[in-house]
Chain A
Amino acid sequence: DQQVKQNSPSLSVQEGRISILNCDYTNSMFDYFLWYKKYPAEGPTFLISISSIKDKNEDGRFTVFLNKSAKHLSLHIVPSQPGDSAVYFCAAAAQGGSEKLVFGKGMKLTVNP
């Protein structure tokens, strides 16, 4: 039972263009969402997060949008750079108890020069 879904396993974009990574969730108790980036042989690195009280959070080239009614979030990277090539994980949590993260399967982003 996948509570966090990243339905596209991969995405390829040209350098300088926008990358849009999507994530859907099923558990209404989730109230905090995070994106992690992972390079081979490294642990996941925190990228950006959003609380359910917001619908948008921006940090430099990275913006996360949250649509609670659709249980959908997306990560926009503008402009995309070759160094952004990595596996991106969407994660969700229901705060207030054990602060575990529920992850999607990940999406491999390739940014071509």
Chain B
Amino acid sequence: ETGVTQSPTHLIKTRGQQVTLRCSSQSGHNTVSWYQQALGQGPQFIFQYYREEENGRGNFPPRFSGLQFPNYSSELNVNALELDDSALYLCASSLDRGLYGYTFGSGTRLTVV
């Protein structure tokens, strides 16, 4: 059983650029949630995808968008990057939107300069 894998592990982008982060869900899981963890803060919910549909969104602007594929892997896209977007981006997968077995990946560290 493979866990949640995220790529890349680290990324440096320039303000105004666009970025795509990727997440492969744990085997058997059909739900993916994305979180942003700024330095010294707890993870903050960005949005969740269940069976390729968005199933809830946190307080993030529309330039944060996502996608879930038929194999339940997911992408997080951020347009027009701002310095405050610098953070650790975590992906978590689970089954049927539930919290049981909610498993996090190691994250992508994004630095915007």
Decide whether A and B are members of one complex: yes
Q: Does A25 contact B (CB under 8 A)?
A: no
Q: List 25 A-B contacts (CB under 8 A).
A: A4-B42, A6-B42, A41-B106, A43-B4, A43-B92, A43-B104, A44-B104, A45-B104, A46-B102, A91-B42, A98-B56, A99-B31, A99-B56, A99-B94, A99-B102, A100-B33, A100-B56, A100-B58, A101-B35, A101-B43, A101-B102, A103-B44, A104-B42, A105-B40, A105-B41
Residues on B with C-beta less than 8 A from A42 are 106
Residues on B with C-beta less than 8 A from A99 are 31, 33, 48, 56, 94, 97-99, 102
Q: Known: A93-B99, A98-B55. Is A103-B43 also a contact (CB below 8 A)?
A: yes
Q: How many residues of B contact A (CB 8 A)?
A: 27
Once bound together, how far apart are the Cα atoms of A94 and B24, in whole Å? 26
